[in-house]
Amino acid sequence: MPTSPTSFLDLKSFSSSDLHSFFSRVTHLKKASPASISSGERVALLFFEPSTRTRMSFESAAYRSGFGPLIFDGGANTSLEKGETVEDSILNIAAMRPKFLVIRCGDQVDLRALSQQVEMPIINAGWGIKGHPTQALLDVFTMSEYCPSLTGLRVLILGDVRHSRVAASHFELLPKLGIEVGLCGPSEFLVEQPDIKKFRSLPEALSWAQVVMALRVQFERHDQSPAEKNKPLLDREDYRASFGLNSRVLRDFDPAGIIMHPGPINHGLELESEVLQDPRCKVLQQVTNGVFVREQLLRDLYVN
């Protein structure tokens, strides 16, 4: 991870050794409670789209490392309601000089251009369908805790890959670590990616995988492209029957494998509630790890 005040918008510039060294610092952070790195400085958490896990884990990470969080949550009762743009809101909050801007926003916001206009690092906390790099980091950190080795690990990404910023970040991250990636889902939810296997049948995919990561069906992004307007992409019952995870289909999944989901879950669609009771399911461990991964990122990016 860089130690200069550069923004953290994607995972493109990180090498495999940067990533292994980052995961080792996160492991250490989970075991120890290091001193605060800051006192009296602030982190601005600017969430223009809904969030529970990412916002609260960044808030928790900020407190743990000594930053006061300044929270902009969704925009109700803010000047967005008077017509201020997202970009103006960001620049005005940057002028209050927090140490970082942690931002969740839609694709239409140009975080790269904004990162050239502000003095502090911008951290991508979920940017349209472009990427969600801290989610990908916490996912892989979780895999590293439960799987014997990342190199050669077979990870199945299941479901609405095309509309998922989590999947977009995993396409940047997993191949760098020597992780094999497979995709499974209806053809309209899949994407073309080099060196990635595609499975049409969930049982076949599960017999290949050591990790299965079910994605949330991103209904809110289905009607964004003109081609998709007025044409539902999904028959819920067909999807549930063919691609939903349940205890029956998971009987043939690796007993030492792990089941993941970035949340929030559409119960009874991509995953039946019973799956959360499966000892292989690490959904809440992902959330716990999100705090430490984000705290370590703040520590690494912090410059006095």
Min separation Cβ 185 and ligand CP, Å: 18
Token match 């819920």: residue? 236
Shorter beta-carbon distance to ligand CP: residue 132 or 170 = 132
Per DSSP, the three-state class of 297 is helix
Per DSSP, the three-state class of 206 is helix
Alpha-carbon distances of 63 from 3, 27, 39, 132, 199, rounded to whole Å: 20, 19, 10, 22, 43
The burial class, CB within 10 Å (0-12 / 13-18 / 19+), for 284 is exposed
**Residues composing the chain:** 304
Shorter beta-carbon distance to ligand CP: residue 189 or 199 = 189
Min separation Cβ 211 and ligand CP, Å: 16
Min separation Cβ 9 and ligand CP, Å: 16
Min separation Cβ 303 and ligand CP, Å: 26
Task: Output the six-digit token pair for 80.
Answer: 């967005």
Task: Output the six-digit token pair for 287.
Answer: 């959330």
Shorter beta-carbon distance to ligand CP: residue 249 or 281 = 281
Task: Output the six-digit token pair for 253.
Answer: 């999944």
Q: Which residues bind ligand CP (CB under 6 A)?
A: 51-54, 126, 132, 135, 262-264
Report residue 51 CA to chain centroid gap: 11
Could you give phi then psi for residue 26, rounded to 5 degrees? -65, -40
Min separation Cβ 263 and ligand CP, Å: 5
Shorter beta-carbon distance to ligand CP: residue 126 or 244 = 126
Min separation Cβ 287 and ligand CP, Å: 8
Shorter beta-carbon distance to ligand CP: residue 165 or 299 = 165
Shorter beta-carbon distance to ligand CP: residue 45 or 249 = 45
